[in-house]
Structures are given as structure tokens and as C-alpha cells.
Amino acid sequence: MTDSKYFTTTKKGEIFELKAELNSDKKEKKKEAVKKVIASMTVGKDVSALFPDVVNCMQTDNLELKKLVYLYLMNYAKSQPDMAIMAVNTFVKDCEDPNPLIRALAVRTMGCIRVDKITEYLCEPLRKCLKDEDPYVRKTAAVCVAKLHDINAQLVEDQGFLDTLKDLISDSNPMVVANAVAALSEIAESHPNSNLLDLNPQTINKLLTALNECTEWGQIFILDCLANYTPRDDRESQSICERVTPRLSHANSAVVLSAVKVLMKFMEMLPKDLDYYGTLLKKLAPPLVTLLSAEPELQYVALRNINLIVQRRPEILKHEMKVFFVKYNDPIYVKLEKLDIMIRLASQANIAQVLAELKEYATEVDVDFVRKAVRAIGRCAIKVEQSAERCVSTLLDLIQTKVNYVVQEAIVVIKDIFRKYPNKYESVIATLCENLDSLDEPEARAAMIWIVGEYAERIDNADELLESFLEGFHDESTQVQLQLLTAIVKLFLKKPTETQELVQQVLSLATQDSDNPDLRDRGYIYWRLLSTDPVAAKEVVLAEKPLISEETDLIEPTLLEELICHIGTLASVYHKPPSAFVEGSRGVQHKRLPGSAGSGESADSPDTGSAAGVSEAPPAVIPSQGDLLGDLLNLDLTPPTTSGPPPAPSSGMQMGAMDLLGGGLDSLMGDESEPPPVPQRTDTPQSPQLSHQSPSPPDYSPTELGGDLGGSPAMGAGFGAPPTAMPASFPPPVSGGLDDLFDLGGSVGMPMGAYSPPKSIWLPAMKAKGLEISGTFARRAGVIQMEMTLTNKAMSIMTDFAIQFNRNSFGLAPAGPLQVLTPVGPNQSIEVALPLSTVGPVMKMEPLTNLQVAVKNNIDVFYFSSQYPISMLFVEDGKMERQVFLATWKDIPNDNEAQFQIKDCHLNSDAASSKLQGSNVFTIAKRTVEGQDMLYQSMKLTNGIWVLAELRVQAGNPNYTVSLKCRAPEVSQCVFQSYEAMLKN
Amino acid sequence: MIGGLFIYNHKGEVLISRVYRDDIGEAGLKAEQPIISRSVPKPVSCLKRNAVDAFRVNVIHARQQVRSPVTNIARTSFFHVKRSNIWLAAVTKQNVNATMVFEFLYKMCDVMSAYFGKISEENVKNNFVLIYELLDEILDFGYPQNSETGALKTFITQQGIKSQVPTKEEQSQITSQVTGQIGWRREGIKYRRNELFLDVLESVNLLMSPQGQVLSAHVSGRVVMKSYLSGMPECKFGMNDKIVIDKQGKGGGSEEAAKSGKQSIAIDDCTFHQCVRLSKFDSERSISFIPPDGDYELMRYRTTKDIILPFRVIPLVREVGRTKLEVKVVIKSNFKSSLLAQKIEVRIPTPLNTSGVQLICMKGKAKYKASENAIVWKIKRMAGMKESQISAEIELLPTNDKKKWARPPISMNFEVPFAPSGLKVRYLKVFEPKLNYSDHDVIKWVRYIGRSGIYETRC
């Protein structure tokens, strides 16, 4: 018998026919009909009309038919909640059935019916099933608690199901334990601060016992849960590791990877001189290699994880290079990942082999793969100095192939090699110049231009080459434009006599004909520099560049630590923290590795402060900063010595701002045990730690910088002519900025009253038969009030006042009746204050803060609309934790950021801060960069929307810049208006 | 956890859709987030369609080749595996254990094949009710549950072996088996003849440079068993594992081990079926287990040291001008001359612009297959310590393609009757204390098969 026939009935009147069949007396016919219904459901046809008929089939002893009906119910109950109630009785009855399979089926299905009304009926049967004598029913009930929690968390807590679930961790049946653990873990994830999964040595022991006995899936749940535990000391850590290591031989890769996660985490606590530590390291390599013989999809996941593991503990796989060699038939995603790991493992010992492989790959077909292979050769050159020469000659060979994308990729990496080994391989420049015409990708063009500019003195026709690019200047991408501007300035400084015309041409192109603020600003900076002090310009632009570091593309250490805690999961596949792709509260909780036993500090003590981490070596690479440095280098403005001329103000500012965006600060504040990477920011060219994320200096992303450069208003204002004012000196660079940030604490001034706009006339007397209403909104002691003056300009007495609001964006509604107790006589006016609540019906208004009001009196009903300042809605508990702030700031996509200018405001930053605090805009941190104060502020609206702000105040400059980030970007405009109103009031 | 599971045909039509969680429906549908967070109830069917469609549009119908088995669309993650023309996709909005999801998808494929054979559109349609019932049982609220086919067959109603209502004892037996410690075997199995089949299946992988240098070589092996044993037997499996032999050698004198002439092998890593007691293996390195009934894979292992490479391929490629290529390939068999290798196939890739090929081979048959861009040389049987050769003249069309021909490696397929890793089964003991049959009443069969995995020589 085949089921496919059910898919084919698409006649008219089908529903009617099915209805008849469903009500048939014959069991077989009924069953057939239900199958047909389910087939229609699968292909997306709406068969909800048959609901009552299908539900009628539910009362049967036949398990098969029952299962079919339940399947249908799960799908349609939500759209037919009232009908679904009909099924409740059967469910409740089935939960008492003598057959445990039916009991379990009933409780399982009931949990899948996500209808509020049903959940109430679910509680009693569920309670019984959680204590059922049969383990099969108990394990199903355990999952059901998680389902119920998803529908109605409060109900689960009120009914005490969580405690019952906790008890199940001690159940005698391993599968019940595993499911209880899984359910609790998921529930705990949505309550980050609850102590639901109270992991203590006793429960851990129970879990470890169950681990040996339960199914493969159960083992995964338990291992993933174990990974959240922090052992008390190294001994406990070791004993857990010992009991987990046997899992490394499991056939299921997920069991293996979850075990690896537990081991990687707990290893942090073991002293490195311990014998067991070495044994453990050795035990980890073989299972990881074995994962590479699994199916390609699993290989991919494994490789993404190995990439993390290799960064954290390179020693584990250092001898296993060969297994990462690419096979001809590997899917492309496996190939690309293997290549990445090969570069990470490359060392002097194996470089010959690696290079031979890479050369082989560079002749493959897949374009992405070939590009990456070429780039990898360059990275090898940078990483292993001994191999540099061979790499360069390999790259030259590849350039000779004249395959367009190979050539371009090779040029990009050769530029990095020049940076790493200055004055060594410049002889190849001639070969590179031959290929100038074939370059059509921005990155390659930019790289080539950089090379020409940097080595202009060695290239005879450098001016001609650059001039040829200039023709199509406006068609180039920003990256190329910026690079071209810099290169021509360099050329001019090197050969001033012949190139004056060229430099003027490019400066005018950049400053007058371009809409790009980055380009314009850089143009102005150069212009100004060249016109005021050419010697200084030379010192700045042609400054010696710091060497680039050998390790590239490393993941930032705090993120890496977090990702190690997420081995095996999606986060480790994406190489992003869960908060980046999971909605809601689940992702916000950041996991961290436990502190190592050696350093003697506990990861849990929040007050260790930044000083505690000094003993540890500073992390070598902070990509977000690297980016900045790359950008800065790109500007070629790094001062060669401390006495050199200051860099342009925008660059310093941009660093500060970018840093916050990029998360460098996050690593600082989010992770107290790590030393702040601040020193890197003040890098002088000699600094050995310099590094950048991508090996290409022209990695200048205009979108990232956004309007940051616009933050120097003097530049913007001076459009069309070179800027006239440049600050002459600067406070010592940013190193102090962070301290400022930390000691801000309670320095916020006394809160003043919330801002309230002056009253304005909402309803003129002419329109309302003599009634004039003027009013305003205010927030007083946490209550939103609408304060009105009612004036009677008519001849008769007015009485019986009442008020009503239309639905509005934030659910504003009168909290009580309008209190006008005495009649209002002619020419009399009275003041009323109407408290408002925010629980009214909601409808999005345009503009957002529009409020439509109806006022009634004994004469008529009048309508008017008014706009309230959104600051009324800022609630008192709108102060975010710093860490949460940083995480949220990062988490909100950049598209949601809005930037505004507030003009002519003459407050200093502290005054502004306290003024804003009066209106529940809380300053979370403040720092000072280059004479500019940055205030980081948060506020929360009554409906729970958070708005984050960065306010930039520069002493002596009346123009403020506000950047707002919010998950609901629509509110930004209103918030900005409020800001302006609050500050100027 | 897993929010939903979909099965598509190659056109992107949904054959099976099972949604476990509401959240996944919203994939790709939100152009903008509503400011006011009050959800308006929408019909479920409409919600989940969005996830279904998002996957179809972005993955199945994507113009580009699949770049990753995990895709994130509008904060929803899709995991997919493909079996012939069928796509299986798991969907989630949470940070799930990705390895587990893929393992589950494979397991799902295994279970389906165990029920109805090949996974094809036809078979899926024919068994959709069964698939729904299975999905209900093995994935609860997105949590994988017991997925051993042996156990499932006891209580899945569709085409299950139980058609009548089980008795009370049977019921509790089923539930204790599904949740119990030995979820893979039921009690009360009886056979008149207790029999065991043990296959050591190895695939030997090689990547060799044109000069004959081994770039990488490894054997991945599997021990596959068929057991027809009564009761709940306790089994113990032993092989010539270097660690075990060395340990014994210490106790009983290494001479003995040397005398018996038994070579031991170094196993890099091994993984076991869930029936094997891992903690015992970890502490004593002994492999003990209560076997499932019927077919199963007891263990997988990997070795890289002292591999017997059954064949050596020696390529010689010469370019004669721009339009001609001379290829000579010699293969040498490298094992005992009394053994016979079978199903030998050598595949020599040819450039895309090949216009004609002339072939001369000493043994077997060779053919140029234009559609596959390769010369395929087949030899039915070949004894050990022999040598054979093929030479080919390839004529090329002149092209103005700048890019050189990539010269893919020459690959080989074969089957040999021994284990290239050198693995030997030393014993497989069976104890069943309750029933009265003893270890030597059990009939045991052992067989070794070595096959080529990816066996390539660059040229």
C-alpha cells in the first residue's frame, strides 16, 4: 500500500468528500480520510475546515488513528482555539490510560498545542505524568514542561513544575535525567540570572553517572549542561575530565565535540605542569582528526571548531598538518576551511610541505578557493620568515600565469609582504607594474596604487601610472580613491618638481567634487598640511610604518574564549557570539572560560579589575583595533616621534568612536581579567605588537566609519576651502580616556526636574465653540501627566468635562477621569492635571508621538491632536549596566544607528549629563578623547524599548553630535527632538 | 533546539513539514520590526510557510553552488543535507548544537532507509504518514529522542511489526526498552543457531606526489557485525592493538608475542557503537558490549602508520607541443602473490580540449570517456607482485585559454582480500550466563576486505 495517492486528489468538492469519509462508520475508511487530510496539510492546503470532523475521530482505541488525529490537531489547534477545547477531554482521559504509550502520546501532543486555554487544562495531567511510574511517560513529561514554559512561563513557575523538573535530575532512569537536563538548560537560558540549574558537586556526580548509561542524544544534553559548570578547584576539574574523556571514542560526532568542549573549558583550571594536563592534550588530537572522516557537513562543523581550538591551544594539533590537506573531491566549504587551518598550523617545520600544497591549489578551478590559496601563500611568507623568499617567487610564478584573479590576489598579498619585510623584495615591482592594466578589483587596484605611491622614487614613470588612474577618479570605489589621494601626495613629497599639477588635481577632485566625507576630510588635511608646513607634511606622510604582525585573521581573545564555551554549537560555526544571531534574552548571557588555576584568580569575582590581569601577557591581537590602526596607517599620519606634529583631530576622534563600535572597549569592560589593550592605541611605529585584522592596510571601510569624520564640524563647515582652524595641541593621547570612563560612577550632578515643554494651545477657542485648551506633558515622580488649562471664552457655563484618547503608539490612556469639579464660567479658566497610564490600546501613529484627544463638555465633543515629547516615556529604571550597554550597542546593527547634530548648545558635558538625567536619560559612561567628551547614555521607554545614545561634546564648540542606536529605529527621530528640547531648555 | 524539520524534493516542493516551535515561522518575513511589541496572531500555516519558502529561495533555488551546509537567513539558521534528489532541512532560531543537528539528520536518513529503503521523492511520498509518526517519536519539541531502529520498530504503528494491541507486559517492556540502559536490544530474542558474522572493512586513502612520495595516507576502517544470538549475550572483542599486545607482552614475556609472529598495529583513534562500554575501554582498553540484534557497526578506527599500500601508480605525462600529450601510467601490485585484487579501475583525467585518444594497454580494457574527461582503464583481477602499463596519446584542440590545465590527480579503485592496516581479529568471545549455550557453540565468520578510498597520485 502506498501513501502517495493521497497527494494527488485536488478535485473540487474535495473537502466535502473528505468530510463524508471522516464521518464514516468504517475504521479503515476514516483512517484513509485522515491520511488524505494530512497529505493536504503538508502541501500547504488549508484543511482547517475539517477540524470538528477530525476531532471526532479522536476517541478511538486505535493507536494509529489516534496518532494521525493528534498530528492534525497540533497543526490547526492554534487557528481554531475554540474548537481545540473540544479535544481537551479526550486528552485528559488519555493521560489516565493504562497504556503508557498512550499516556505519553497524550501529554506530548497536548504540549504541542499552543493555545492558552488548553494550557490550563494541561497542568493537572502533566503533574501526574511527571510522577508517572513509567519512565517513558516521565521523560516525555519532562520535555512537556519546557513546551509549557515556552507558552506560559509564569504558569510553569506558579505551578511548581520547575521544582519537579529539578527532582527528575535524580531519577533512576538515565533518559529521564537527560531530558530533564535538556529542558532545564533551555528554560535557564531564558532566565539568565535564575539559579535554575543549580549545579553543585552532587548533581554533577549524578549527571556523570547518567552520562554512561543514556542514549547518544542524552549524552549530548548532559555534556552541554556540564560545560556550564565551573569546578571549585583543579582537583574537581581533573576528576570531571577523567570521567568525560571516554566519550571521545563515541561514534556520534556531537558527543565527541561536546566532550571536547567540556575538556577545553575545564583544562583552563588545570596547572600546566600537571602530568594529567599533558595526557589530556594528547588525548584530544586523535578524536578531532577522526571527525574529518565524517560526512562533509559534519566535517565542516568540525573544521570551524578546530579553527577555534587551534587558536586557543595550537599545541594540540601542531603535528597533524597533513590531515588538513585538501582532497580533490572535498566540497568547496570543506576546502576553504581546511586552507584556513593549514595556515594557522604552518610553521618552520612544515612550511615546505604547505607551500607545495598551496601551489597545487592555486591551479584549481574554484575561483574563491584559488584566491584564498594565493592569499595563503602570502600569509605564509609573513608568518614564517624563512619561507618568505620562496613564497615571493611562487607568487611571481603565479603572476606569470596571467589568470586575472590570481594576479590580483597575488598583488594584494605582495603588498603585505613589502610591509613585513621592507627593502627586501622591491625588485619585483617592475613585474607588478606590467600587470597594472589587468587589475579591475578595488582591493587589487588600491594595493597596486599603494605600492606605486610608497615606492614612487624607484618607479620612473610613477606619475604617469598614477595619472592614468586619475582619469576615472569618480568611478573608482572609495578605497581606491583614498589610496590614490595618499599615493599622489606621497609622490609629490618625493618628487615635488614634476608633480605639482597632479597633486593639485587630486586635491581638488577629493575636496570639491566628492560627496564622500572621508575623502573630503582627508583631502583637506593633506591640503592644509602641504600648504602650511611641507616639512611637517613630509614627516607625517612619509613616516616610517610599523611592521605588521605575523598572525592575521585571529579572533579577538575575549570572543575566542566565549566561542570556546560554545564548541559544537551554531556560534562556533558562525564564529559569532550567540547574541549576534539569536533574538531575545537567550543570547545576551555571555559565557566565559574559567580562570586558570595558576594565576590564582577566580573568574567569578567581578572586582578583580583590570589590574589583576597584568600578570598575563596582553592579548596579541585585537582585530577591531587593528582595523583602526589599519585605517590610521592608511592615512599615513602616524607621528614618527612624540615631538612630531599632531595627527589630524579627526583621526583621534575616529579612533575613540570606532573603538566603541568595534567592541574593543567591550573586551575591556566585559572581561575584567584581561588587561586593557589600551597601550596599543598609542602605538608608536616601533611597537612590536602592531597588527591588523586583514593583511591589507587599505582596508578602509566607509560604511563602518559612517559619519564619524563628520564629527569634526569645523571640517564640514569649511567645505569648499581649506579649513581655517586646526587645534594646535592635543591632550595626551587616549590612554587616559578609559580611566575617565571608569571613574565616572556617581559624578553625575544632582538630578533636576524632568524637562517639560511650555504650554501651547492645542485647541483654539474658535474651533471649539469657545473652549480653549492649552497644555503640556510632564513626567512627575514617575507619572506621566497631561497638564491643561481650560479656558471658557464663550458666554455660557461649561460643565460635564470628559476626555478620551484615540489609540496611539505607546498606549497612552487617561489613568482616571478628567477632574473638573466646578463648572467653568465665562472668561474663567482652570488648571487640570490628568495622570496618564501606558496600558491603553496600541496603534502606530504618524508621527510617532502623535496623540489624538477627544474632549467633551455639556456643549459638544471636540477633537484635537497634540504631540508629546518622547522623553515623557523615559522610565526611571532606564539605566543599563555597562556591559549590557556595550553588548547591546554592538548587537544592534549599524543600519539602526542615526546621527544628529544639536546646534548652539552651551552646556558643558557634566551639565548636559545632569540635565538629561533629570529626564531619565542616564549617563553610563563618559570619556574624554582629544578634548572631546563622549557620553554614553541609555534610556528605556515605557514599552520596554531601549535607546542607546552617544553624545559628543567638544569644549568651546556649541554643536553637539548625538548618535542613537535602537532596535526600533523609528523612535530615533523623536528621541533626538527630545534631546534637543531637553538640552536647550 | 530544532524548531522544525522539512523535506523537499529537487524542485523545492515540500514533501514533509513538521514544525516544533513557533518562532521559526517568522524567518524572512519581517521587513521591519513592529515598534509596538504586541504580536498579532497569524494563522500558523502562514507563518511556517515563510521558513519553508526562505529555504527554497535562498538555498535550493540559489544560483550558486552551495557554499555552506549551514545558512542563516533573517536570524534563522537552516541546516541541510542532501540525499540523491531530496533535501532534508532542520531549522532553528536558537544557538543549537550544530553537530547534533547534523548527526540527527543523518540518523533520520538511516531510520528512513531502514524502513523503506532508498530516500527518494517517491518513497517519501509513499510513507509520509510513517515519517510523521517517526518524527513525532524521535524528535520531541526539537530534542532528539531514542532513534535506534530496533527499538522504534517495537512501537511505531505504521507498517510496524505490532499490529494488534500489545499486552500490558509488552507495553511496559517497550517503554523500559526505549528509555532503558540497553535501548538497542530487546529481551527474549531466541535463535536456534547462534551465529556471528564479522567483517573488517577498510578503505585505504592515499595522496602521492608524482615522484612517488607519500603526501598523506591513512586507513579508515570499520568493524561491521551481524549477530544472531539468543538472550542478552555479553561479548568481548579483541584485535592486535599495539597497546594491548605491549601490555600483555610485559606480563607474559615479549618473546611469546614475538614468537607467535603476530604483528601489532598502532590505532590512531577509534570510535564505538553506543553499545560498547566506553569507560571500560578507556581504563582497560577492552571492548565489551551487549550487541544489538542484526546488523550494526561495532567500531570505526583510523590508522596512519605502517600501511600496506596495495598499489603503486607511476605516472609520466609529457606535453608534445601545444596539441599533443603523451601519458604513460604503470601500476604495480604490492602484496602477497597468492592473493588476488579485484575490480581494479584506474582513472586518468584528460584536458577539456581533448579531441582524440589512442590507447595501448597490456592488461584489461581501457576506454576514453569524453563525457567524464577521463581515460578509464579496468582490470578484473590482478595478483600480487605484478606490474601492468598503459600508454595513451592525447590529441588536443588548440585553444587560446590562458589558464593551464589543472592536471587533476590520477585516481584508482580496487578491492583486496586483506586489511591494509594490518588489523587482525584475535578473538570475539560470547557469554550468556542465563541461557545455556557457550562461546564455542556460536558459529563465527570473519572476513577482511580492503577497498580504495580516495587513492590518488598527482601527475
> Rounded to an integer, what distance in angstroms lies between the CA atom of residue B428 and that of residue B426?
7
For B68, residues 6+ apart whose C-beta sits below 8 A from its C-beta are A300, A333
Nearest residue to A86 (alpha-carbon basis) of A62, A69, A98: A69
User: Is B380 marked within a binding site?
Assistant: yes
Residue pair A570/B79 in contact (Cβ under 8 Å)? The answer is no
Which residues of chain B lie closer than 8 angstroms to A568, CB-CB? 97-100
DSSP track, A722-744: --S---S---S-THHHHHHHHTT
Which of A145-154, A557-566, B78-87, B158-167 has the weakest average pLDDT?
Answer: B158-167
Which residues of chain B lie closer than 8 angstroms to A301, CB-CB? 70, 98-99, 102
A808 DSSP assignment: B
C-alpha cell at position A532 = 602650511
> Rounded to an integer, what distance in angstroms lies between the CA atom of residue B410 and that of residue B335?
21
Chain-centroid distance, C-alpha B29: 37
Q: For residue range A407-447, what is the model confidence (pLDDT) as tens digits? A: 999 999 998 888 888 878 888 888 888 888 888 888 899 99
B443-457 and B195-208 beta bridge pairing: parallel
Does the pLDDT value for residue A692 go beyond 70? no
Residue pair B323/B397 in contact (Cβ under 8 Å)? The answer is yes
Q: If DSSP codes are grouped into helix, strand and coil, which group holds residue A636?
A: coil
Residue pair A526/A507 in contact (Cβ under 8 Å)? The answer is yes
CATH number of B4-25+46-147: 3.30.450.60
Which residues of chain B lie closer than 8 angstroms to A134, CB-CB? 172, 175
> Rounded to an integer, what distance in angstroms lies between the CA atom of residue B198 and that of residue B266?
21
B128 and A42: CB-CB below 8 Å?
yes
Distance from CA of B88 to the nearest CA of A (A): 12
Sole residue written with cell 506633558: A777
Nearest residue to A142 (alpha-carbon basis) of A117, A167, A172: A167
DSSP track, B245-281: HHHHHHHH-HHHHHHTT---B---EEEE-TTB-HHHH
pLDDT on residue A879: 83
> Rounded to an integer, what distance in angstroms lies between the CA atom of residue A28 and that of residue A30?
5
The end-to-end CA distance of chain A, in Å, is 81
> Rounded to an integer, what distance in angstroms lies between the CA atom of residue A719 and that of residue A714?
9
C-alpha cell at position B183 = 535501548
| Kind and range of the H or E run holding A756 | none
B402 and A844: CB-CB below 8 Å?
no
Residue pair A849/A868 in contact (Cβ under 8 Å)? The answer is yes
A544 phi, psi to nearest 5 deg: -70, 135
Q: For residue range A194-213, what is the model confidence (pLDDT) as tens digits? A: 677 778 888 899 899 889 88
Does the pLDDT value for residue A591 go beyond 50? yes
Minimal-distance CA residue of chain A relative to B175: A136
> Rounded to an integer, what distance in angstroms lies between the CA atom of residue B3 and that of residue B90?
7
> Rounded to an integer, what distance in angstroms lies between the CA atom of residue A710 and that of residue A703?
13
Burial class (CB in 10 A: 0-12, 13-18, 19+), A375: buried
Sheet hosting strand B4-8, strand order edge to edge: B14-19, B4-8, B86-92, B76-83, B70-73
User: Is B369 marked within a binding site?
Assistant: yes
pLDDT on residue A965: 84
Which residues of chain B lie closer than 8 angstroms to A327, CB-CB? 207, 454, 456
pLDDT on residue A632: 37
B98 and A572: CB-CB below 8 Å?
yes
> Rounded to an integer, what distance in angstroms lies between the CA atom of residue A125 and that of residue B375?
69
Which residues of chain A lie closer than 8 angstroms to B35, CB-CB? 809, 844, 848, 945, 968, 970-971
Which of A710-714, A767-771, A930-934 has the weakest average pLDDT?
Answer: A710-714
> Rounded to an integer, what distance in angstroms lies between the CA atom of residue A894 and that of residue A948?
12
What is the complex's ipTM, to 2 decimals?
0.79
Residue pair B269/A289 in contact (Cβ under 8 Å)? The answer is yes
Sole residue written with cell 484513509: A32
Distances, alpha carbon A72 to alpha carbons A10, A23, B20, in Å: 19, 16, 13
Nearest residue to A887 (alpha-carbon basis) of A656, A580, A564, A582: A580
Q: Which of B37, B271, B297, B305 to mutate to test the interface with A (most CBs of A within 10 A)?
A: B271
Minimal-distance CA residue of chain B relative to A296: B69
A836 phi, psi to nearest 5 deg: -115, 150
Minimal-distance CA residue of chain B relative to A261: B97
The pLDDT of A115-124, averaged and rounded, is: 82
The pLDDT of A585-595, averaged and rounded, is: 66
Sole residue written with cell 586518468: B348
pLDDT on residue A570: 93
Say which of B95, B146, B274 has its CB closest to residue A578. Answer: B95
C-alpha cell at position A685 = 611605529
Which residues of chain A lie closer than 8 angstroms to B218, CB-CB? 323
Cross-strand pairs, B374: B349, B369
> Rounded to an integer, what distance in angstroms lies between the CA atom of residue A184 and that of residue A191?
11
B95 and A581: CB-CB below 8 Å?
yes
pLDDT on residue A9: 52
Task: Write out residues in chain B with pLDDT < 70, as ranges.
Answer: 24-49, 157-169, 180-181, 249-262, 401-404
User: How many other CB atoms sit within 10 Å of the CB of residue B280?
Assistant: 16
Which residues of chain B lie closer than 8 angstroms to A143, CB-CB? 140-141, 143
Q: For residue range A295-316, what is the model confidence (pLDDT) as tens digits? A: 999 999 999 999 999 999 999 9
B22 and A290: CB-CB below 8 Å?
no
Q: What is the 3-state secondary structure (H, E, C) of A611-652?
A: HHHHHCCCCCCCHHHHHHHHHHHHHCCCCCCCCCCCCCHHHH
Cross-strand pairs, B222: B201, B300
A232 DSSP assignment: S
The end-to-end CA distance of chain B, in Å, is 48
Does the pLDDT value for residue A228 go beyond 60? yes
Distance from CA of A599 to the nearest CA of B (A): 31
**CATH (one of 3.40.50.300, 3.40.50.2000, 2.60.40.1170, 3.40.30.10) for B311-398+406-416:** 2.60.40.1170
Does the pLDDT value for residue A619 go beyond 50? no
Task: Report the percentage of chain A scoring pLDDT > 70.
Answer: 81
Distance from CA of B312 to the nearest CA of A (A): 19
What residues does each domain of chain B span? 4-25+46-147, 195-248+263-307+420-457, 311-398+406-416
B180 and A173: CB-CB below 8 Å?
yes
Note the residue count of chain B. 459
Superfamily of domain B195-248+263-307+420-457: Mu homology domain, subdomain B (2.60.40.1170)
B15 DSSP assignment: E
User: Is B365 marked within a binding site?
Assistant: yes
Q: If DSSP codes are grouped into helix, strand and coil, which group holds residue A516?
A: coil
Can B195-248+263-307+420-457 and B311-398+406-416 be said to share one CATH topology? Answer: yes
Q: For residue range A32-51, what is the model confidence (pLDDT) as tens digits? A: 888 888 888 777 678 888 88
B28 DSSP assignment: T
A147 and B44: CB-CB below 8 Å?
no
Q: For residue range A788-822, what is the model confidence (pLDDT) as tens digits? A: 888 888 878 888 888 888 888 888 888 888 888 77
pLDDT on residue B150: 73
User: How many other CB atoms sit within 10 Å of the CB of residue A199?
Assistant: 17
Q: Which of B8, B16, B30, B35 to mutate to test the interface with A (most CBs of A within 10 A)?
A: B35
Determine if the peptide bond prior to A646 is cis (ω within 30°): no
Minimal-distance CA residue of chain A relative to B136: A71
Angle subtended by helix axes A649-662 and A623-635, to nearest 10: 160
pTM comes to: 0.68
pLDDT on residue A713: 35
CB contacts < 8 A, A to B, total: 309
Say which of A108, A296, A297 has its CB closest to residue B140. Answer: A108
Does the pLDDT value for residue A677 go beyond 70? no
B281 and A290: CB-CB below 8 Å?
no
Does the pLDDT value for residue A377 go beyond 60? yes
pLDDT on residue A626: 35
User: Is B107 marked within a binding site?
Assistant: no
Q: For residue range A452-497, what is the model confidence (pLDDT) as tens digits? A: 888 888 888 888 888 888 888 888 888 899 999 999 999 888 888 8
Q: For residue range A235-284, what is the model confidence (pLDDT) as tens digits? A: 899 999 999 999 999 999 999 999 999 999 999 888 888 889 999 999 99
Q: For residue range A217-227, what is the model confidence (pLDDT) as tens digits? A: 999 999 999 99
Q: For residue range A331-370, what is the model confidence (pLDDT) as tens digits? A: 999 999 999 999 999 988 899 889 988 988 888 888 889 9
The answer to whether the Cα torsion of A128, A132, A137, A140 is positive or negative is: positive
